[in-house]
Each structure stands twice: as C-alpha cells, then as structure tokens.
C-alpha cells in the first residue's frame, strides 16, 4: 500500500531525524530509510544533530593520497634528491616571483571508466566539475568572501582557466566535449593496490592522452562505492622537468565522493598537478609543526584541519598561537575557498616551465569549426504563477558562450548561479502571462538563436500560508516511563496503588490548543517513537473544549492504518474533511487494543506553556472511562511530575486547496540516465514531496519543485505530494528504467589508402531491446550493425542508442595495413662486366613503377635497361590500385676490365694475395711521372699516390684496414694505363 500519509520535513525549521531522503550525490543508488534508536520506554537524550553536508569530501575519513603516491614513486625510482631539489626551486620561485602574470588555459579530458550506470557520470556533472574549477582558479567562487581577513587571509587569483577538449589525439571530433567513456569489467580500483590500473587498457582502464596537450582526469570507483575514503590523487611535477612518466601523469578522482558538488576535490588535486603540497607539508597525515609546504604565506599547521577541533568555526590553532588557514584549498575542511599569492606564484612557474606545452595545445579547438545551431530543450512549458522552469541548451557545433533573455522581463528571475549566461538555466516567473525565452549560442564562428514559449497561469486565490500550533520545546530532555507497562503517549497501562492492584488501559491521549481566529485544522505532523502494524489503525481526533478543562465532543476524526506510519520519521496526516476551530480546542488520538500486535506511541518532551492549561490528558478505560491529567497519574514518580507534551504540530489554514500537476522529462530511460521532474504546473502549493515506488515497494523520496534523479532498472511509480494551505494533493506518473545498453564492436583495417576499413557491432543488448541505432563521429545513423564500411584509418567516436534514450559511447580505432610488396630482379644477373648492359625488372601487381639511381629517376616503367660503369644500387618504387606503396632495391656489381699496355711489362705487384702490404716494383727504361690508384670493387678510389721522376724502385701500399676482397691497382703515366687485380685476405 502506498503511504499517502507519509512525508518528511515539509519546510519545517525543527531538527531533522534520519530520513530516506536522497541527496544529489546518491542518484542511481538504492534508497533506504534509517530509523532513530527508539526504545519502548521513551528517551533520555536529545535527537541527533543534523549534518547539513552529508558525504562531503572533507569530512574525516575522506583523504587525498597524493603524498603517499609521490613518496612511493620517488623511492622506487631513486628520484628523492631530484624532487628535493625541485621542491626547493619551486619554493624559491614562489617566494621570489619575478615573472609577469600570464593567463593560462588548460585543456581537460575526463576519462570516465565505468562498470555500471552510477559510475558512468553524466555530462552535466562533468560540466559542473569544469565550472567549479574555473570559478576556483579565477577567483570567481562566491565563498571566497568567507576567507577571514582578520588574520590577513587574502584569496589570490591564479588566472588559470580550463576548457573541455573538442578533439582526440587523432584530431577526430569528440562526440561529448571533454569526455572519453570506457566501459570496464573492473568493479573497483583499489588505490593502494591498483593505483594506476585505470590508466591502462590491459588492466581495465584507458591510456593517457598526450600530456603535452591534455590534462588527463580519470573518473572511476576508488572507494568501492563508499561515501568515505580516498577521494582523489595526483602526481606532482618539478619546474625544470615534470619527472613523472607520461603514462601515469594526471589526476584520479572517485566517481562518487570525488565529484560531489562544491567539494573542491578536483580543485585540490589540480593544485597537486601544478606543484602544490598540502599546507602541512608532504604528508597525508599529521606531521607535527616541524614540516610545512615551504611557502611563507600559508600558516604552519600540524595536519589536516578536520583532524582538530574548531575547523571552519572561527579560530583554530594547531601550532602554538598560529591561526590555521582552513580556508586553503590544499587543506582538508568543509570550507576551503582560496589559494595564497605564493601558491599562485608556484603554479604559474610550473605552467611557464615544465607544463608550458599545455599553453599551445589546440585540443579545445573544434575540428572544422562551424557557427552554432541553437536549440532549447524545455521539459515544461506551462507552469503556475511563481513556478520555475529548467531550460537546457542542446545546441550543436560547440558554442562557447550563451545568453538567455525573457520578454517580457518583469517578474522574471534567473535562479542559477551564473544568471542568464549559464549554459542551462532555471527561471522563476512571478507573474502570469505568456513569455518568450530566447537563447543565443555563440562561438568564434558566429551566433544563432532559438526561442521557447512559457505560459504562466494563475495559482488561485487566497493565502496558502500554513500556521503551526505547537506545545513542546525542541531541546528539552525526554522522559522515561517508570510505572505501568507499555509506551508513554501510546498504548500503555496504569495500576491502582492499593491492594489488590487493578490495571487500566490508556486508550486516548489529547492536548489543548488555541486558535486566535477561525481556521481549519487540516494536517497533523508528528514523530512516532514506536509503530508496529498488527493490522489495526490509529484514529486522530479534534475535540471541542469541555469544562474541567478537558476534551469534549469530537469535531472531526481521521483513521490512519498503522501500515502507513513509520516510527523515527516525521509523519504527516491529512484530514479528509478539515475541522473548523476557534479559541480553545483539543487534538489527540485513540490507540487500538483490539490486536496485541498493534503498537503506537508518540514522541514527547517538556511542555511549551499551552493555553489554557499546561498538561496533557489521557483517557483511562476499563472501568474509569474518563480523562485524567498525565501529571496526576505520575505526580509522585521520583518526586517529579512527568510534565510531558506531544511532539506534534497542528497545522491550520483557511487558504485554497492545492492542485498537484507534474511533468517528467522522459517516461522511459536507461539505467544511469538522469530524469527531471517538475511540479511547477501545480497551483496553491508551497512545498513538494516526491515518493518513489519500484514494483509496488516504497523506496524513498525527493523534495523540491524540480529535482533530478536516476534509478536502477525496473518499473517505477512516482507520486507528487503538493502541499499548500496545510493540505496535500497527489498527482502520479510512471516511468521505466531499462538496463544499461551494451554492445561489442570491432574493426577491419584500411588497406593502405583504399578507404576500405570498417566497424562492425555485435551482441547489442539492454535498453528497450531494440532496434538499435548505430553512428560514428556523430554522422548518419543505421540500424544495421555492419553498416560502417569505406573508412579510413583513425579513431572513431561510437554512439549506439535505442528508442528510450539509452546510449552507449566508446571509441574504436581503425588501423592501416599494407599487404602489397614488390621484388626487383636483373637479367642476365646481378654481376656484369664493365661495359655490359642489364635489364631491371619488378614483379607485377602495381599500377605504376619508378626506378631510381640514387635520387635520380631513371625510368617510370615496370622494367628498364641500365649500363652501370661501376657497381650501382637501383631502387624501384611501386604503387598498387589501392594506393599501397612498396619498394625494393637491387645492386649490380660491375667487374672492372683490366687495361693492357706497355707499362705492364715494367711493373710487378707482390705479394698477391696479401693480408696487408702490397708492394709495387717498377723498372722503366727512362724516368716517368706516374699516378697509382687503388680502387674497391664498387669503383671507388680509396688511395691515390703521385710518383714523380721514377725509373725504378719499390713502393708499398697498406691495405690492412680494408675489408677482405678484390681490389684494382691502376697505373697511369699520362699516355697509357695499366690495371691489375689484387686480392686482400685476412
């Protein structure tokens, strides 16, 4: 049964009990309820304090492990001294900064590594992370004003901006700017064991993109789904060099606690990426006051601020009287909001030196840029007066700025932080009428407009205010039952004092209230201390005031099944027919004793001086059948009357009844895809509760006029409880969450430049079951899994969708192969005599051939003729019909001829062969001038000697450093030439 009577908090300024409410960071996670520890006898302590920021990054237990990571790396690589030198250099640069302040822009790519829908974080969350980075590093964060100037803490502007990458390393456009999604079978990357596994395909992650062009941020599960633990980590660079291998350089953050709104996790880790240490030094934990970050304008602190009392609350000192700068982004606290001047100087020095290449990256420049095509998505276009609409930019071609305008503009308020210049906006309309909303989307190539019409209708007449009548104090102690059995303010018994004792059932409880003017009791709001459903009900009643005073005639009653009430939570009961009251009246309830399993008791504490009396009444049955003052029954218990009062709010109003109306952004989605619901079409409503049921089981709730959520797969019902004038109206809708869409894709390689590569999909499942739409690089879609052929080599962005909004995104690499080859041959052979010709030929298969002798083209045919005079190498280059190129070479050895002349009669060469020295003996009839040359078998002269006026003699030539083989000795006297062959052996 749906619990129509159950809702929570409804704008109350009371304390909060633990509830089943979902936070924005719990999207796609199962919703549960946490009860307070109720005892059967009552309470002896106050309700637990409310934590306004559950799950924040800087709560104790959430850590950055950058220091431990860096320490391990330096020890393993032996770079401790290198980094110590770099740290000293960085600190000097920070404290003695001489450079000019330059604005830097860092391109960012988020590698989203996911094994389920909740880890596959949304595009909107990515944009939120980037927006927060830009605010924090350009001193545009609104909380910068919280830095305590009384201690001289002045936030500094780092003047660093961040942009989402528009292209991948192969210069292909990214389907989602700045986002690279990778599905993995790894469910958890343990940061202590699998520290860098998310950075490699082989271990379930993905490789870093070129760090010279991108800041790599990996988003994955490093906490095993917990809301505490390691939120993120990064390696720190030096100034003269980065020092960290390119394949692990970058930042890792947890998909859950690392992406919490305004947690500053990424701001903190980017600080490490740009060289900053923790404010207490290079340690992940308290290091005492002997170590710090080496910067003079970050006060010394013993360790993380949240490890010590006083964090974010005023004064905090951990090192003598030195005030802790818990506002610093490089500390751990819930209130970080600033960098110091020296921290900014240090980061600027790193960007000007070791990370300077980021400044010239074109990663954020779109491929083939075009002007935007503006497009507005409006889930809701008709709302009630005072309602809000969410409008989303879905423009194409990568706009870089946005401007929203509303005509007419009177009574129009932009509720989003950036006003009318945010990409997506939330607009409230105070007046009725028809409004034209215009979006102007702009990039460097131009601008474009789109419009949407919003109709604002009247909300009805009368005030929707809801007055609260209350008899209790919030902070006083509870009381414990010391007599009788059962539950105070519930089904319990009392006994007479004298023998024999008689037991009486207390069947009703009531308290007096007063309405200063005529009004209607429409709702009761209360916290039961105990509920057990045995099939019975509780009857809530409004009574006239009778003499005594005590409850009189029942004006109105409302029966509520025990199954619809939950102990430990705020419960709200609506009267189907409100009770008209003025002056003194009573409100109470009747508990059932018909079934022994039925239990109901209300929380109570000290009275708040109700009018006209200051006591609670109880109706004692089983013989008495009359009303008694609770204090009269318990007057002498431990010498102190009970003095209790209901923890119950009586809600009264004369305003118009609310009408609930809702819209939903999609009725069928895929697991992990966010859905937006909007109650702005409701009239006469002031608060909104959304109850969720899956398969008929209540799972939890959200509040607000237009929350966004994402749930696990199943068939869901959602009830909108629109509350106004102390009344509730309900509107309902349903939606289906389909299983995550999965597919397998593979590639066939391109044959050289033939544009014949392909991508094939198989095993597609999930979503609505198909048919599925396939596309690559945001091109045309096909429902055929093998439709993508004729592709060139490169990286392609994969998108698979179904009809319900489910998406699968990934990348696929198409490689280029060359299966064409050519072989050169020669006829009559590769060795010829000097003066002989040779035919050069290449194997068939090419469409064109080119022969080269060195760099000179000698033919453009499959075969050609050549007449080398010396040993020569020829190269053939061939291209086939697919554009594939291949080459081969062949060397033609030319045996030089031996010249015969008269000189040969007068010379002798010995020893021949020789292992080193060759002797030339000459004996001419008359004196001659001769030139002696030694040539290798390639015809290259390796030694020349001119001998003048020789008639006889012996001349030595040293070949000991030459290779084994044949050589020629050529003797020339100016008239004749004689050549002889010599042989070198080893």
Pairing of strands 550-561, 537-546: antiparallel
Query: Looking at the DSSP assignment, which residues form a beta bridge with residue 898?
Result: none
Is the distance from CB of 612 to CB of 546 less than 8 angstroms? no
Distance (Å, whole) CA 787 – CA 789: 6
Q: Would you call 80 a catalytic residue per the annotation?
A: no
At residue 537's C-alpha, the angle toward residues 534 and 539, to 5°, is 155
DSSP H helices, 613-739, are: 630-633
Pairing of strands 425-429, 388-393: antiparallel
Is the distance from CB of 931 to CB of 941 less than 8 angstroms? no
Q: What is the DSSP string of 76-140?
A: HHT-HHHHHHHHHHHHHHHHT--SPP--EEEEEEEEEEESSTTTS--HHHHHHHHHHHHHHHTT-
Residue corresponding to tokens 């094939």: 760
Return all residues near 632 (Cβ < 8 A) that are at least 6 apart.
none
Other Cβ atoms closer than 10 A to 367: 14
SS (H, E, C) 682-693: CECCCEEEEEEE
At residue 16's C-alpha, the angle toward residues 12 and 20, to 5°, is 105
How far is the CA of 488 from the CAs of 318, 492, 509, 528, in angstroms?
Answer: 48, 7, 10, 11
Strand (E) or helix (H) holding 74: helix 66-77
Pairing of strands 388-393, 376-377: antiparallel
Distance (Å, whole) CA 698 – CA 701: 9
Q: What is the DSSP string of 264-286?
A: -HHHHHHHHHTTPPBTTBS-SS-
Q: Looking at 725-805, which runs of residues are DSSP E strands?
A: 727-738, 742-748, 750-751, 757-765, 773-776, 788-791, 794-801
Q: How crowded is the C-beta side of 903, counted as CA atoms within 13 Å?
A: 28
Distance (Å, whole) CA 131 – CA 152: 28
Q: What is the DSSP string of 434-474?
A: EEEEEEEEEETTEEEEEEEEEEEE---SS----EEEE-B-S
Phi and psi for 595 in degrees, rounded to 5? Answer: -120, 125
Pairing of strands 215-220, 251-254: parallel
Q: Looking at 613-703, which runs of residues are DSSP E strands?
A: 617-620, 626-629, 644-646, 648-653, 663-664, 668-670, 675-678, 687-694, 697-703
Three-class secondary structure of residue 61 per DSSP? coil
DSSP letter for 359, please.
G
How far is the CA of 323 from the CAs of 332, 929, 956, in angstroms?
Answer: 15, 99, 92
Residue corresponding to tokens 């019902």: 717
Q: How crowded is the C-beta side of 615, counted as CA atoms within 13 Å?
A: 17
Other Cβ atoms closer than 10 A to 528: 24
Cis bond before residue 479 (omega within 30° of 0): no
Of residues 269, 520, 607, 740, which has the active-site annotation?
269
Q: What is the DSSP string of 896-961?
A: PPPP--GGGGGEEEESSSBSSEEEEEEEEEEEEEEEEEEE-TTS-EEEEEEEEEEEEEEEEEE-TT
Q: Which residues are catalytic?
A: 269
């Amino acid at each position: 049964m749906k619990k129509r009577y159950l809702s929570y908090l409804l704008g109350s300024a009371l304390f909060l009990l633990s509830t089943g409410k979902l936070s924005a960071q719990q999207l796609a996670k199962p919703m549960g309820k946490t009860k307070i520890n109720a005892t059967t006898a009552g309470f002896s302590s106050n309700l637990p304090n409310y934590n306004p920021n559950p799950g924040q990054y800087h709560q104790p237990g959430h850590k950055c492990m950058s220091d431990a990571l860096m320490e391990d790396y330096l020890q393993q690589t032996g770079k401790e001294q290198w980094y110590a030198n770099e740290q000293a250099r960085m600190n000097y640069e920070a404290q003695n900064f001489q450079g000019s302040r330059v604005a830097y822009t860092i391109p960012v790519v988020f590698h989203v590594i996911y094994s389920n829908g909740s880890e596959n974080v949304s595009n909107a969350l990515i944009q939120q992370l980037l927006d927060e980075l830009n605010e924090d590093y350009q001193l545009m964060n609104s909380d910068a004003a919280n830095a305590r100037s009384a201690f001289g803490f002045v936030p500094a502007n780092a003047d660093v901006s961040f942009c989402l990458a528009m292209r991948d390393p192969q210069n292909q456009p990214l389907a989602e700017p700045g986002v690279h999604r990778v599905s993995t079978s790894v469910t958890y990357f343990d940061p202590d064991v699998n520290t860098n596994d998310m950075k490699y395909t082989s271990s379930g992650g993905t490789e870093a993109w070129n760090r010279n062009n991108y800041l790599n941020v990996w988003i994955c599960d490093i906490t095993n789904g917990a809301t505490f633990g390691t939120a993120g980590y990064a390696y720190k660079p030096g100034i003269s060099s980065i020092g960290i291998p390119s394949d692990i350089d970058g930042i890792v953050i947890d998909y859950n606690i690392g992406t919490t709104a305004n947690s500053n996790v990424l701001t903190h880790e980017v600080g490490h990426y740009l060289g900053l240490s923790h404010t207490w030094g290079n340690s992940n934990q308290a290091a005492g006051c002997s170590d710090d970050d080496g910067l003079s304008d970050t006060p010394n602190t013993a360790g993380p601020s949240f490890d010590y009392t006083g964090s974010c609350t005023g004064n905090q000192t951990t090192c003598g009287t030195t005030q802790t700068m818990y506002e610093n982004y490089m500390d751990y606290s819930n209130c970080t909001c600033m960098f110091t001047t020296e921290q900014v100087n240090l980061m600027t020095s790193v960007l000007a030196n070791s990370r300077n290449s980021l400044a010239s990256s074109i990663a954020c420049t779109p491929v083939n840029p075009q002007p935007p095509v503006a497009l507005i998505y409006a889930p809701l276009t008709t709302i009630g007066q005072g309602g809000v609409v969410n409008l989303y930019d879905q423009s194409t071609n990568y706009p870089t700025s946005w401007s929203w305008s509303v005509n007419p503009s009177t009574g129009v308020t932009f509720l989003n932080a950036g006003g009318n210049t945010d990409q997506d906006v939330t607009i409230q309309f105070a007046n009725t009428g028809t409004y034209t909303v215009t979006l102007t989307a702009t990039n460097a190539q131009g601008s474009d407009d789109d419009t949407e019409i919003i109709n604002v209708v009247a909300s009805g007449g009368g005030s929707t205010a809801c007055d609260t009548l209350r008899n209790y104090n919030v902070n006083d102690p509870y009381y414990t039952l010391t007599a009788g059995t059962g539950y105070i303010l519930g089904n319990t018994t009392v006994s007479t004092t004298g023998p024999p004792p008689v037991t009486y059932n207390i069947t009703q409880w009531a308290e007096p209230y007063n309405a200063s003017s005529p009004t209607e009791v429409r709702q009761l709001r209360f916290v039961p201390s105990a509920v057990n459903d045995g099939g019975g009900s509780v009857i809530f009643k409004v009574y006239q005031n009778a003499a005594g005073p005590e409850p009189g005639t029942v004006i109105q009653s409302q029966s509520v099944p025990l199954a619809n009430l939950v102990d430990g939570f705020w419960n709200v009961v609506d009267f189907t027919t409100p009770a008209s009251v003025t002056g003194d009246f009573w409100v109470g309830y009747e508990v059932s004793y018909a079934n022994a399993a039925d239990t109901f008791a209300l929380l109570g504490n000290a009275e708040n001086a109700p009018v006209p009396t200051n006591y609670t009444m109880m109706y004692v049955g089983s013989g008495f059948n009359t009303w008694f003052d609770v204090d009269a029954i318990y007057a002498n218990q431990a010498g102190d009357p009970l003095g209790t009062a209901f923890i119950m709010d009586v809600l009264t109003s004369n305003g118009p009844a609310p009408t609930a109306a809702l819209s939903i952004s999609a009725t069928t989605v895929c697991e992990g895809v966010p859905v937006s619901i909007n109650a702005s079409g409701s009239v006469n409503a002031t608060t909104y509760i959304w109850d969720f049921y899956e398969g008929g089981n209540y799972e939890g709730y959200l509040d607000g006029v237009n929350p966004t959520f994402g749930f696990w797969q199943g068939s869901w019902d959602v009830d909108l409880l629109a509350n106004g004038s102390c009344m509730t109206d309900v509107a309902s809708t349903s939606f289906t969450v389909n299983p995550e869409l999965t597919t397998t894709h593979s590639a066939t390689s391109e044959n050289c430049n033939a544009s014949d590569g392909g991508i094939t999909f198989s095993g597609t499942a999930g979503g609505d079951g198909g048919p599925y739409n396939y596309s690559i690089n945001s091109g045309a879609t096909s429902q055929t899994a093998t439709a993508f052929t004729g592709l060139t080599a490169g990286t392609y962005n994969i998108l698979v969708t179904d009809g319900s909004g489910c998406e699968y995104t990934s990348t696929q690499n198409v490689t280029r192969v060359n299966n064409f080859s050519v072989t050169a041959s020669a006829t009559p052979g590769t060795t010829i005599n000097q003066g002989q010709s040779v035919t050069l030929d290449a194997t068939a298969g090419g469409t064109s051939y080119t022969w080269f002798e060195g760099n000179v083209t000698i033919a453009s045919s499959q075969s050609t003729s050549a007449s080398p005079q010396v040993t020569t190498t020829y190269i053939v280059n061939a291209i086939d019909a697919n554009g594939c190129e291949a080459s081969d070479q062949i060397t033609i050895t030319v045996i030089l001829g031996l010249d015969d002349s008269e000189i040969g009669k007068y010379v002798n060469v010995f020893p021949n062969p020789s292992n080193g020295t060759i002797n030339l003996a000459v004996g001419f009839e008359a004196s001659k001038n001769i030139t002696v040359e030694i040539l290798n078998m390639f015809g290259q002269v390796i030694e020349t000697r001119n001998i003048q006026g020789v008639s006889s003699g012996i001349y030595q030539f040293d070949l000991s450093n030459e290779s084994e083989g044949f050589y020629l000795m050529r003797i020339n006297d100016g008239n004749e030439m004689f050549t002889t062959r010599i042989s070198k052996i080893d």
